Structure 1
Amino acid sequence: MTTRSPPPSTDHIAPPDGFTPHFRDSPLTDPWKPLWSRIVDRTVILGLWLAVPHTNSRGLAHGGLISALADNAMGLSCALQLPEGAAPLTVSLSVDFIGSGRIGQWLAVTPQVIRAGGTLGFAQCLITADGAPIARGSATFHVARR
């Protein structure tokens, strides 16, 4: 029986310029750390180095990981554009997979807020692995007022 050694850890690899440790902890994303973020023009770009815990049985970036990070990035980006005390709650989320990410690649989720305010917010995002598009997402958010 042949055994494979696991790929090297990506925990020690610095992120691209401008990324810092993600500012928002979540029980869902905690196991995927280190998770990085960068705020540009009031949008939150998320990124991570793909590693074994992020993959499916084929060693490709798991669709659930991609969907969760897309929802996170779009929701946080909408939140940055809402008045104090308002919070976006996901109403719908759609992700189209157009490629795949592999262990060792930099996965980035870059959102664009279409509209934030009133009672609904809308956003879209592009998910890339080493700069190549692998998915696109869109979401609708209910704007809850506290």
Structure 2
Amino acid sequence: MIRDDIKSALVTAMKGGDKETTSTIRLIQAAIKNRDIEARTGKAPDDDDVLVSEVLQKMVKQRRESITMYEQGNRPELAASEAAEVAVIERFLPKMMDEAETKAAIEAIKAEIGASSIKDMGRVMAELKTRHAGKLDMSKASGLVKGALSKA
């Protein structure tokens, strides 16, 4: 499980004296803990790795946005710090589907549910998220689904 990998990486980083990695992993654990608290009020996901992956993907997205802003603000040292955090966080993310695999999954779902127009985008996206939640960047998938359905 991803949680176990994170805990063992924290111990390793602490023993190795790697302060940057230790602090980033502690941020990860805090974000996961916050998500666990939020999940108590709603339905918990069936797979814990999916929940952790969602948290990690959100953290990566936030840091990439920060990197862009820091670069625009001419603050390369802060952008480098955020990039280092992204590298640590991405170590725990499962392998993401590439564009070809994503397109194949979209085509399979399209054929399975009989999606033929852009009106079916919601159904395709919901099924895509159900099947491939932790292995897929949903924002990129959205554009691919839109493109696949507009051709149909």
TM-score class, shorter-chain normalisation, is under 0.3
Greater fraction of residues in helix: 2
Provide the TM-score with structure 1 as the length reference: 0.27
Between structure 1 and structure 2, the one with the greater Rg is 2
Provide the TM-score with structure 2 as the length reference: 0.26
